[in-house]
A and B are shown apart, each in its own frame.
Chain A
């Protein structure tokens, strides 16, 4: 059957999006593939469709548990029942059950830390794996957007699984990162499919604003003017909360806040309300967006300065998936780079914390030394900081007995990471301050090229914000659902059905 026919049969689409067909063809020809496809272009289809052709299992390694759950749910909704996620969400019994009948599943999502468990790896070795997929492959590289130490061991795992055909997927990766991916996975000859990361329907607009007061006012103005729905990104939960309350108070539109501090039930509701157009604007932290498939997002505003161009690109990529004109705005006030610098430092254990920890651990010999919850607490380590310590500590213990060496290694690591983070913030700032075309500059950063003329392009190329203003005069669609009885009746009685 032709690929298009399969696409129609299993997914109901009549044509492929950019890059998908090249990736699938390469895989069918047995070539290892590194695919760099922009967010929102259906990366998952690149392994799902081959799944219907290959005889064996498809293993998908995914770094984010929530993302994994979303993908599994989505596949189930589209009628694929032979899909499972192996991660820490499963109880012991559930995991045992899944492992016992592993060969009944076609698509197996697994978290990198599960792959470290020898028992699970042995189970996987019993399968016939047709395709080994590494999602968010940039996590492999220290230079990547979101380096994960477990990811750097995927090469060994792949080897242990008999070097199956491999697909590495990423949305944003510089050539350095791409090199790391191929090298770390031990892929040798690789077919690279790099569709342009440019999203021509998204315009760039950076606005410099005197101070925070003015920024608030400007957001109120923009939200009233711009065509909705939209997302406003903040680097802090507090900032997002505050702006959401302000917008609610001014009754400019239907708005809600979203961040990881909310209860799970509430997060699900807000996400769903936004998808169902019951909300116009979400004030969010970066916790929002992963797995949110909404086509008609018209604007993404960054209230704070993102930590790096990669995350920026990922976040604005949620706009305009329907291909219609959308705007990515960044509001910058002098001194805004202080916040990302602080955040970058906060993500790593500080020099003082490392000193404190090793003084506590005492002695020169590492024998019997253990990292305890008490140490974490007393040293004031956050979860993220502690994970870095743990990730470094235990593997290194196997290599050295000297605490001095360990300390030096951890120090070196954090220094390097901090330096890298600072460079990224610096790049981001350069992009904000540029006098040339923003689209060209961001593409240049990813060694990509602008092949077509994009219009409207960015503020430097004369983009006019009016283009993105709402044409509707009405303030907000009234969401009055009448009385509670009306509401219940509408939920439970389909008046359109003749009975």
Chain B
């Protein structure tokens, strides 16, 4: 791996050179490191806007300081950047030339997408695995993505999809091909070989980088480039991607959540429990419960099953319908084992 590091580092190099150029020696080199890492400091966020580097925000979260330093030393040794003051750099003419010949990947959109990138991948990889196994009529396999949340999401999507099981494989295939075909200058291999399906397990990032003879960071960037492209493309036209659009729905927050509920929702999707969220945010549990009710009202991709067992949901609904009432107290009197919180969740989910 190590010996080809120079040859294999094109995308990473290009992005750093681009950033150096944009910064124009007005910031230290480490502002690039913080940018790629997606550091949420006002300085980094301001810089991203000021120097129009937003699209690279948070696209290389696994980058360590050591690797970054090593990269900078290497670029210096290659004579594409030079030191213009302590921790400040500029491009050399050969750096300018390299950048001209190798412009940065053009689909990266870190600012908009860095928070949803991994969630989109989790959805896509699980969706493809399930569809592939449906296509081959296999019912027994290990889901490649763990977590009750995402399994619930998938179940909900499958219920919603009105395509017969016989068609779903080839339709998914057609949509993916259509999606990728409209971007001829991008090679989707970085993503496709990572997919798992019927009796075919996808590659790990390390294996994929090897297969494609890419350096580690170049591979990461190519992968994220493909994901960001898909998010953009699918988001632009749900009607053109009836199946893939499900991967996109609810990912981007344009819902009427309050700032505070949005924070709670973020923590929730990271797998924190109600209690830990209350602890982290230093709020009362009842406040967090309020948020959850708000989320249940606004987001279809939020499953309340983890908080209210399905049979209990049924019961609450039936009683609410029978009594034609949404008054909590009345319902609570009939369903003693349900908490107020649970009743509110069920009502919120079913039309508020």
Contacts and interface: CB of A to CB of B under 8 A. Distances in A.
A265 B307 CA distance: 26
Interface in B1-29: 1
A93 B309 CA distance: 10
Contact of B337 (A100, A266, A485, A499): A100
Contacts of A269: 144, 196, 201-204
A151 B70 CA distance: 49
Interface residues of A, number: 37
Given A485-B177, A493-B170, A493-B173, A77 B200 contact: no
Nearest to B135: A494
A481 B193 contact: yes
B340 interface: no
Given A94-B306, A493-B169, A270 B1 contact: no
B146 interface: yes
A53 to B, nearest CB: 25
Interface string A252-279: 0000100000001110111011001010
B128 interface: yes
Contacts of A497: 135
Contact of B200 (A101, A490, A494): A490
B307 A93 contact: yes
B235 interface: no
B281 interface: no
B207 interface: yes
B273 interface: yes
Contact of B201 (A93, A278, A485, A488): A278
B135 A492 contact: yes
A493 B274 CA distance: 42
B177 A491 contact: no
Contacts of B136: 494
Contacts of A489: 173
Interface string B127-146: 01001100110001110111
Interface stretch (B47-55, B90-98, B184-192, B327-335): B184-192
A266 B177 contact: no
A91 B274 contact: yes
B128 A492 contact: yes
A291 B144 CA distance: 15
A491 B170 contact: no
B173 A268 contact: no
Given A269-B202, A270-B204, A484 B146 contact: no
Interface string B151-188: 00000000000000010011011001100000000011
Contacts of B274: 91-93
Contact of B192 (A77, A256, A488): A488
Contacts of B173: 488-489, 491-493
A364 interface: no
A272 B169 contact: no
Contact of B210 (A77, A94, A248, A481): A248
Contacts of A270: 204
B227 interface: no
B144 A268 contact: yes
A484 B187 contact: yes
A385 to B, nearest CB: 25
Contacts of A488: 173, 176-177, 192, 195
Contacts of A499: 166
A245 B189 contact: no
A104 to B, nearest CB: 9
Nearest to A486: B192
A101 B132 CA distance: 34
Interface residues of B, number: 48
A497 to B, nearest CB: 8
B95 to A, nearest CB: 32
B315 interface: no
A270 B311 CA distance: 38
B180 to A, nearest CB: 8
Contacts of A494: 135-136, 169, 198
B308 interface: yes
A293 B200 CA distance: 17
A499 B59 CA distance: 43
A385 B47 CA distance: 45
A296 to B, nearest CB: 15
B199 A276 contact: yes
Contacts of B242: none
Nearest to A92: B273
From A97, A265, A276, A492, residue with most partner B Cβ within 10 Å:
A492
Interface string B87-131: 000000000000000000000000000000000000000001001
B293 to A, nearest CB: 14
A273 B128 contact: no
B204 A487 contact: no
B148 interface: yes
Contacts of A483: 189
From B204, B274, B275, residue with most partner A Cβ within 10 Å:
B204
B197 interface: yes
B273 A93 contact: yes
Contact of B132 (A100, A485, A492): A492
A276 B200 contact: yes
Nearest to B132: A491
Contacts of B166: 499
B111 to A, nearest CB: 25
A270 B201 CA distance: 9
Nearest to B203: A269
A449 interface: no
Interface in A27-70: none
Contacts of B210: 248
Nearest to B309: A97
Interface in A101-115: 101
Interface string A231-265: 00000000000000100100000001000000011
A73 interface: yes
From A97, A101, A276, A491, residue with most partner B Cβ within 10 Å:
A491
A350 to B, nearest CB: 30
A272 B144 contact: yes
A44 B202 CA distance: 30
A248 B275 CA distance: 46
B201 A101 contact: no
Interface in B272-290: 273-275
Contact of A492 (B187, B196, B197): B197
B132 A264 contact: no
A138 B158 CA distance: 44
A91 B149 CA distance: 11
Contacts of A492: 128, 131-132, 135, 169-170, 172-173, 176, 197
Given A269-B144, A484-B189, A492-B128, 18 more contacts: A92-B274, A94-B148, A100-B337, A245-B1, A248-B210, A256-B204, A256-B207, A265-B145, A265-B204, A269-B202, A269-B203, A269-B204, A272-B201, A481-B200, A489-B173, A491-B173, A491-B197, A492-B197
Interface of B: 1, 128, 131-132, 135-136, 140-142, 144-146, 148, 166, 169-170, 172-173, 176-177, 187-189, 192-193, 195-207, 210, 273-275, 306-309, 311, 337
Interface of A: 73, 77-78, 91-94, 97, 100-101, 245, 248, 256, 264-266, 268-270, 272-273, 276, 278, 481, 483-485, 487-494, 497, 499
16 contacts: A77-B141, A78-B140, A92-B275, A93-B273, A94-B148, A269-B196, A278-B200, A278-B201, A484-B187, A488-B173, A488-B192, A490-B197, A491-B128, A491-B132, A494-B136, A497-B135
The 5 closest A-B pairs by CB, nearest first: A491-B197, A492-B173, A484-B192, A91-B273, A272-B201
